[in-house]
Structure 1
Amino acid sequence: MSPQHFDILLEKVSPIIAKKDTTFRRPISPETRLTITLRYLASGDSYRSLMLLFRNTNHLWKSCKYSNFRLIEQVPRTQNEWNKIAEDYYVQWQFPNCLGALDGKHITIRCPSNSGSLNFNYKHTFSVVLMALTDANYKLIYIDVGCKGRISDGGVFNRCSLYQAIENNSLNIPPPRSLPGSNVVAPFVIVADDAFALRPYLMKPFNFRGQDQSEQIYNYRLSRARRMVESTFGMLASKFRLLRTTIELSEQNVKLCVLAICSIHNWLATIDPESYLALEINQEETLDNLGGVANEQSISNERGKNIQEIFKTYFTCEGQVPWQYEMI
């Protein structure tokens, strides 16, 4: 973060985190409060290290809490907003009618007291889950954080507010439309990995056993769009090293930290995308490195299978791209 961006952020949060002077002592300045918060989120330093560096860490969590910009309010609510996201996915990643890429990330934490195995995950660590939906420009358009680590990604999705909103048709998602260059009508969908159940609005890969060429192409095209959420998680962990550590905080404070990280990420990706989103990852595209497959097997419904077949056929006919056969 540049000094100019720090000043802008400080101006946004200062009215909330500033404290009044008293006859006993002067309060910690908003600048110091914000600096401590950003230092902790970016480095994951221990309390001892922060204490030696700033001589005070007592107000860290108030700063962290108020640095959250209420990311949940950024979920699209109009058809024009959803259409803009779908257009970006088609132009940049050649996946039409796509409303976002969905996945979960385990945030490693210290084992909470009296929690038993509720937070113990398949990676043999204790965690809470960050469920995120991202657009084609590495920005988060929905997050849910705090679900117990033992629950699978599909289970977390079934419990989050995004699932309820889609099922209740309260997000004002546009009606189905023709795929580009084709007369075939398909609904708007979210792309995800094999940990999720196939639904009419959620596309996942075909089973990786016994695939024919058309299924391999479909999996490549879907994974190419789905990697946006994987890359976003990678950037979060790269910019905010706290996510690479075992966080020694309560679950509530871990949630506050993750919310603050996601909000700052979106803010920086919006005001300075050229420098903040400069990727230092290998962009080589092959079917093998476009994302793993979870072990969970999900039950597909017939309507979801039919829509999956529509996209599979489209990617080998009107919607094919010249390089796709070289990537499988």
Structure 2
Amino acid sequence: MLMQIFLFLSQFPSTENERLAVAADFEGYWNFPNCGGAIDGKHVRISSPAGSGSYYHNYKGFKSVILMAIVNANYEFMMVDVGRNGRMSDGGVFQTTTFCKKLHRHELNLPSADMNKEGLNFVFLGDDAFALHENLLKPFALRDLTIEKRIFNYRVSRARRVVENAFGILANRFRIFHTTINMSPNKIDVVVLACCILHNVLRQKNKGGYSPTTMVDREDIESRQLIPGSWRNEEQLTPLQANLNNTGQAGGKQNRDKYVTYFNTTGAVPWQNDMA
């Protein structure tokens, strides 16, 4: 069986000031304050290891391992976890990560509310697959939405787009992700991890050549249009299956409600009503 590799990369902050610097980038680029990163997971297609049966068989009908990651505002991987079998849900994989365990044990040295904008909690951003937490936000389910909740969903999705685009760049540039990886099982997770590290190096050393602006999603604020990045024109890493019942704790709901209020009052941006 494949082993699981978890790694905090060099970009992963360890102090309050380093986390505040990550949050400043999210606010500067994506108008989302107090954000420590965007979280998502993808299926990496693999050949079935001998004797594994249906162990790696995912909901899409092929064999895979899961790449879980946290990405900063510059499309760089800060944390990666790879090697869990494809039949696990992304929320389930996230629960097994060292990051999640440290988050729940309050061991990540997150900035306190009095250090953050508007006294709000420091947060990470996920999608429907993740459980709400006092430090993890996700959009509201797409039913019976008020305009305020639609605006909140837009603001979260806008900032979360960095992780989708990071995966898109990764697969576009490292073409092994467009194939079924066929090698010794104990090497697959190492190869995936190496690609994530090289992605970060190339983003930092040759951003324009490695991932030009046309490759990533961008917004035309004047026309209120989302312009998809060129990576979306090709088959990509397969998203994980959302778990809509993964609602989370009461403190997470209260925290989300505070962000809803903020994005509809002092934190509003002029174009949000047209984009939501």
Q: CA, structure 1 residues 244+177, in 2 after alignment: closer, same or farther (shift >3 Å)?
A: farther
Note the alpha carbon deviations across 1:68-105, whole angstroms, 9 max, x for none: xx763542111111011000000110011000000001
The TM-score with structure 1 as length reference comes to 0.73
Structure 1 partner of 2:145: 211
Distance, in Å, in 1 between the alignment partners of 2:56 and 2:240 is 22
Q: 1:286 to 1:192 in 2, by over 3 A?
A: farther
* 1:179 Cα offset (Å): 5.7
Question: In 1, distance between residues paired with 2:185 and 2:35?
Answer: 33
Distance 1:286 1:150, change over 3 A: farther
Asked whether 1:149 is paired with 2:83, we answer: no
Structure 1: 5+ residue stretches without partners? 1-69
Alignment-mate amino acid for residue 36 of structure 2: L
**Aligned: 1:302 with 2:250:** yes
Higher strand share: 2
Secondary structure of residue in 2 paired with 1:124: coil
**Shift in alpha-carbon separation, 1:153–1:258, aligned structure 2, 3 A:** same
- Larger Rg belongs to: 1
The answer to whether 1:273 aligns with 2:193 is no
Q: Tell me, in whole angstroms, the C-alpha distance in 2 between the residues paired with 1:295 and 1:134.
A: 19
Q: Give me the identity figure in percent.
A: 41
- The alpha carbon displacement at 1:123 in A equals 1.3
Return the alpha-carbon distance in structure 2 between the equivalents of residues 186 and 161 of structure 1.
Answer: 25
Name the SS for the 2:182 alignment partner.
coil
After superposition, the CA RMSD in angstroms is 2.2
8 A contact 1:128–1:147 mirrored in 2? yes
TM-score by length of 2: 0.86
Amino acid of the structure 1 residue aligned with 2:268: Q
Q: Higher helix share goes to which structure?
A: 1
CA distance in 2, matches of 1:223, 1:139: 17
- Kept in 1, the 8 Å contact 2:71–2:78? The answer is yes
* Deviation per residue, 1:114-135 (Å, 9 max, x gap): 2122211111110000000000
Measured after TM superposition, the shift of residue 177 of structure 1 is 3.3
* Cα contact 1:193–1:294 (8 A) shared by 2: no
Q: Tell me, in whole angstroms, the C-alpha distance in 2 between the residues paired with 1:109 and 1:228.
A: 25
C-alpha separation between the residues in 1 aligned to 2:211 and 2:160?
17
Please show how residues 142-221 of structure 1 align to structure 2 within 5 Å: 142-177=79-114, 180=117, 184-221=118-155
Does residue 1:255 correspond to 2:189, yes or no? yes
Classify the secondary structure of the residue corresponding to 2:62: coil
Distance 1:204 1:293, change over 3 A: farther
Amino acid at match of 1:94: N
Alignment partner of 1:105: what SS? Answer: strand
Q: 1:100 to 1:317 in 2, by over 3 A?
A: same
After superposition, give the CA deviation of every residue in 1:258-287 in whole Å (9 maximum; x if it has no partner).
111011111111222233231324524769
Tell me how far apart the structure 2 counterparts of residues 101 and 282 of structure 1 sit (CA, whole Å): 15
- Quote the offset at 1:300 in angstroms: 2.2
Structure 2 counterpart of 1:78, one-letter code: T
Q: Which has the higher contact order (CA 8 A, sep 6+)?
A: 2
Query: Is the CA contact (8 Å cut-off) linking 1:240 and 1:261 kept in structure 2?
Result: yes
Contact 2:41–2:240 (CA under 8 A) maintained in structure 1? no
Q: Does residue 314 of the first structure (1) align with residue 262 of the second (2)?
A: yes
Shift of 1:203: 0.4
Residue correspondences, number: 255
Do 2:90 and 2:241's aligned partners in 1 also have CA atoms closer than 8 Å? Answer: no
> What is the DSSP-based 3-state SS (H/G/I as helix, E as strand, rest coil) of the residue aligned with 1:114?
coil
Contact kept, 8 Å, 2:70 with 2:163, in 1: the verdict is yes
Q: Give 1:1-328 correspondences, 5 Å limit.
A: 72-177=9-114, 180=117, 184-279=118-213, 280-284=215-219, 294-297=241-244, 298-328=246-276
Partner Cα distance (1:84, 1:271) in 2: 20
Task: Please state whether the residue corresponding to 1:177 is helix, strand or coil.
Answer: helix
| Letter matched to residue 215 of structure 1 | K
User: Letter of the aligned partner of 1:217 in structure 2?
Assistant: I
Contact 1:102 1:229 in 2 (8 A): yes
Unpaired segments ≥5 residues, structure 2: 1-6, 230-238
Cα distance in 2, alignment partners of residues 126 and 215 from structure 1: 37
Check the 8 A contact 1:71/1:262 in 2, yes or no.
no
Amino acid at match of 1:304: G
| Per-residue Cα deviation, 1:244-270 (whole angstroms, up to 9, x for no partner) | 110012332111111110111111112
